[in-house]
Amino acid sequence: MRTTFNRAAGIVLLSAVTMITGCSKSDNPVTDAVSQLSSESRPKRYEIKSGIVHFEPMNVMGVSTTTETLYFDDYGRKEAKETVTETNVMGMKTYEHRMDITDGDYALSYELKKTLNGKDETSKEATKTDMRQMREMALMMSKAIDVNELKKNFDYREEGTEEIAGVTGRKYSVALNKEQPDARVFGVMYKNIVLKSEMGDISMRASKIEENAAVPASKFEVPAGYTIKEVNFAEEMEKSGMGETEE
């Protein structure tokens, strides 16, 4: 369940990066963007109605390989990430094939297949997280954010353009630690879709993008035979320690 919470929280962080790299005439575009996300009429996330983005296998320290495919429809209001991870650590071989879906007010996550040294350990339980609480929290936090100050603190830089998967995207970089300005995270965005993210030796890069593709509706649904477990976002925050306050 903690993994589900971390994935859901990651959506807010990724959204923040997208907003930092974007442009707005508002005094506080972060607040405006989150306000829109909190309303019934959700804005377009991407500039393409539907698509499929295939990413190159990502190798981590020679022990783990992850391959990801992104599916989206309705300009990103529906999104699904299909991930296959294979790990071999000291003879322990794991294989995990999973789906993570955001659709409307909810995030869904489930395993399609999971094995340990060939033994099937697939869970037939899908978790469902209500994203409305997360949006309310993001809205409160965003009211105190000055996007120009945020760019300054992260030393945000426009880095020109770069061709990825046959298209030309906008390249940018940020420093996660302003005491180490050369240790930067680089990204490339095309029509608001992140096609590349790179930090040191770790890199995720798109190999192919299918614009306005016909995405099967099944990619945004939990298969038959799964039970769905509701996840309370506020409770998970408290368990993780993020909801604690000092007296």
23-54 pLDDT per residue, tens: 443 444 344 444 444 444 567 889 999 999 99
For residues 185 and 196, the answer to whether their CB atoms sit within 8 Å is: no
Residues in the chain: 247
Q: What is the mean pLDDT of residues 54-68?
A: 91
Confidence at residue 131, expressed as pLDDT on a 0 to 100 scale: 80
CB atoms within 10 A of CB 142: 21
Contact 58, 67 (CB under 8 A): yes
Task: Determine the Cα–Cα distance for residues 146 and 128; give it in Å rounded to an integer.
Answer: 32
Mean pLDDT of the chain: 80
pTM attached to this predicted model:
0.78
Cβ atoms of residues 88 and 63 within 8 Å: yes
* Residue 48 CA from chain centroid, whole number: 17
| Gap between the Cα atoms of 196 and 184, Å rounded | 14
Helix (H), strand (E), coil (C) string for 58-125? EEECCCEEEEEEEEEEHHHCEEEEEEEEEEEECCEEEEEEEEEEEECCEEEEEEEEEEECCEECCCCE
